[in-house]
């Protein structure tokens, strides 16, 4: 079964990516709803501000690492690529669920762990899966094949982020053992959805988590979320006591998947 370990990545690299209040909400919702045994945030350098301090006070683990911003020895401008390579390496070695920080968790993940690997659908018509939330047992053949696909990466692929994030996993899912979940499981709100942000309540009955598409919404924060169709659900999450997922620890190391 897939371990109930939830991994998150906060790699700032050379950017000023700030830790925001909805990132803390992501961890709080995971604690309250997903039934984790462990939550691990992988990060390269400390954040700052009240939202960071609130996250640091949660009963979770913090793993500080240094990773190379290269793939196959080539420098990579788009850090999403080398973060995804890191994500795959961790999943292959440790298993569990690796998740972006712009999810809000809604349900117990226990039913989802009874597979060797899982991934969510972004768009069935366009044959796109989404790597923003994946789960697997250690040593998953699908994850190994996905990681191996990056051995074909070169600087000429710099602008092909979405091919690696969406199309390659779709093709690999046809060849390797993995459960492809319907879009509603993790992505009940399409990234083109506008009514959600205006207050329309999304259909969440079958959703285990909802992705907020942070990269498309630079204004995203808790104040904005309280104006959306998720406002009442967020209030319920924050009222619900968080289960303990382990002690706060800080580890360090250097990892590279070149």
At 103-124, the pLDDT tens digits run: 999 999 999 999 999 999 999 9
Sign of the Cα pseudo-torsion (182, 127, 163, 78, in order): negative
167 φψ region: left (φ > 0), alpha (ψ -120 to 50), beta (else): alpha
CA dist., res. 87 & res. 97, Å (int): 10
19, 117, 179 from 113: Cα distances, Å: 29, 8, 11
Above 90 in pLDDT, residue 231? yes
CA dist., res. 103 & res. 133, Å (int): 9
Q: With a threshold of 0.85, does the pTM exceed it?
A: yes
Above 90 in pLDDT, residue 98? yes
Residues in the chain: 258
The domains located in the chain, with CATH, are: 5-255 (3.90.550)
User: Over the stretch 11-26, which tens digit does the pLDDT of each residue have?
Assistant: 998 888 999 999 999 9
- The pLDDT value recorded for residue 159 is 79
30 confidence band (pLDDT: 50, 70, 90): very high
- The pLDDT value recorded for residue 168 is 96
For the beta carbon of residue 247, count every other beta carbon within 10 angstroms: 8
Above 90 in pLDDT, residue 81? no
Mean per-residue pLDDT, 143-157: 91
Kind and range of the H or E run holding 210? strand 209-211
CA dist., res. 145 & res. 83, Å (int): 17
Mean per-residue pLDDT, 50-66: 97
CA dist., res. 40 & res. 4, Å (int): 11
Above 60 in pLDDT, residue 249? no
HSE, CB side, 13 Å, CA atoms: give it for residue 113.
19
């Amino acid at each position: 079964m897939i371990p109930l370990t939830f991994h998150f990545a906060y790699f700032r690299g050379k950017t000023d990516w700030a830790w925001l209040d909805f990132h803390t909400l992501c961890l709080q919702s995971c604690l309250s709803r997903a039934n984790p045994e462990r939550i691990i945030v992988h990060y390269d350098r400390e954040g700052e501000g009240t939202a960071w301090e609130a996250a640091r006070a949660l009963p979770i683990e913090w793993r500080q690492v240094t990773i190379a911003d290269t793939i196959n020895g080539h420098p990579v401008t788009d850090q999403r690529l080398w973060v995804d390579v890191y994500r795959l390496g961790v999943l292959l070695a440790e298993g569990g669920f690796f998740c972006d920080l712009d999810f809000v968790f809604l349900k117990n993940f226990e039913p989802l762990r009874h597979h060797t690997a899982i991934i969510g659908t972004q768009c069935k018509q366009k044959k796109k899966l989404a790597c923003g939330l994946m789960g697997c047992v250690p040593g998953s053949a699908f994850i190994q094949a996905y990681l191996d696909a990056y051995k074909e990466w070169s600087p000429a692929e710099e602008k092909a982020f979405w091919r690696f994030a969406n199309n390659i996993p779709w093709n690999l899912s046809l060849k390797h053992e993995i459960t492809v979940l319907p879009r509603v499981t993790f992505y009940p709100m399409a990234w083109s959805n506008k009514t959600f942000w205006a207050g329309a309540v999304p259909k969440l009955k079958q959703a285990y988590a909802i992705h907020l598409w942070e990269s498309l919404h630079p204004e995203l924060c808790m104040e904005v979320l309280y104006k959306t169709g998720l406002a009442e659900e967020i209030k319920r999450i924050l009222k619900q006591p968080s289960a303990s997922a382990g002690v706060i620890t800080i580890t360090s190391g250097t990892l590279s998947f070149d």
